[in-house]
Structure 1
Amino acid sequence: MSSDTMTIPRRAAVRVRRVLRFAGYFAVRLVQANLAVAWEILTPGSRLAPAVVRVPLRAATDTEVAAVALAVSLTPGTLTLSVHRAPTAALWVHGMYAADPVAFRRAVTDLEWRLLAALRPAAHPDGPDAGRPEAARK
């Protein structure tokens, strides 16, 4: 067997691991968001702090941008309002719990990093951690 065919199973294993890692992360985030929204409905008093935040994207292709926008909108308490591709890609996101816009933007950006790591090939030049702050890597 040539060395090229030996790397195909390894690349496939890396991709599967990344997809499963994102699926687990997103499932936990989805449950947490559902519980927060349910708690808001069931208890008196409001902890809502709605805001609309611009989130710059690293997503390069239309598929990546659409996947990020969809993942954000699937999470209860968040909604993608607008997608801008020029001059730089960005989402405008409404959050029910966005009292701290910087922390909210960081959470959406973390979701994007994890999703791109799952979507992009292992050898992608803008790999999952390219340009990512060291503190944000897990």
Structure 2
Amino acid sequence: MSERRWGLARRTVVRTGRVLRFVGYFAVRLLQANLVVAWEILTPGCRLCPAVVRVPLRAVTEGEIAAVTLAVSLTPGTLALAVHRDPVALSVHGMYAADPVAFRRKVAELERWVLAAVRPVDHPPQSRRRPRRRCPDPTRRWR
């Protein structure tokens, strides 16, 4: 087998492992969040502490940002409200966000798992900036 094939096979195995680990992690987190929300519904009293927290992202590409946003929104008790461009951040509404620092940490951990699953195996360091897209001027008339 050539060196190129070995590299492709290794990347495929590593990527598959990362995706499977993310699916397992997300399934456990999804179950925990569902149980917390169900317990809140079934028991009287109010343990809710809703808040909107701005979470800085390490995601670089539009696809990575979309994957993180979807993962956050799929988790019961959280909802992604807005993506901020410069610097890249995500506004997240949490039902149980009494401690914003701990809530940010949970979202950052979810982001780390998502990025490990969606990024290529030989991804460059985190410090790489996302390429800027040129947006059309909204005041300009289209012809």
Q: Partner of 2:39: helix, strand, or coil? A: helix
CA distance in 1, matches of 2:62, 2:2: 35
Give the letter for the 1:15 counterpart. R
Give the letter for the 2:53 counterpart. V
CA distance in 1, matches of 2:29, 2:2: 42
Q: Which residue of 2 aligns with 1:53?
A: 53
Q: Aligned pairs, how many?
A: 127
Q: Partner of 1:97: helix, strand, or coil? A: coil
Q: CA deviation at 1:2?
A: 2.0
Q: Partner of 1:53: helix, strand, or coil? A: strand
Q: CA deviation at 1:79?
A: 0.4
Give runs of aligned pairs for residues 5-44 of structure 1, distance below 5 A.
5-44=5-44
Q: CA deviation at 1:122?
A: 0.9
Q: Which residue of 1 aligns with 2:136?
A: none
CA distance in 2, matches of 1:21, 1:101: 27
CA distance in 2, matches of 1:10, 1:43: 50
Give the letter for the 1:38 counterpart. A
Instruction: Output one character per residue of 1:5-47: Cα deviation in whole Å (capped at 9) or x when no partner.
Output: 1111111000000000000000000000000000000000011
Instruction: Calculate percent identity across the aligned residue pairs.
Output: 69
Q: Which residue of 2 aligns with 1:106?
A: 105
**2:43 maps to 1:69:** no
Instruction: Output one character per residue of 1:72-102: Cα deviation in whole Å (capped at 9) or x when no partner.
Output: 00000000011111x2110000000011100
Q: CA deviation at 1:63?
A: 0.7
RMSD after superposition: 1.1
CA distance in 2, matches of 1:114, 1:97: 21
> Greater CA radius of gyration, 1 or 2?
2
* TM-score (structure 2 length as normaliser): 0.86
Gaps of 5+ in 1: 132-138
Q: Which residue of 1 aligns with 2:78?
A: 78
Give the letter for the 2:92 counterpart. V
Runs of 4+ in 1 over 4 A off after TM superposition: none
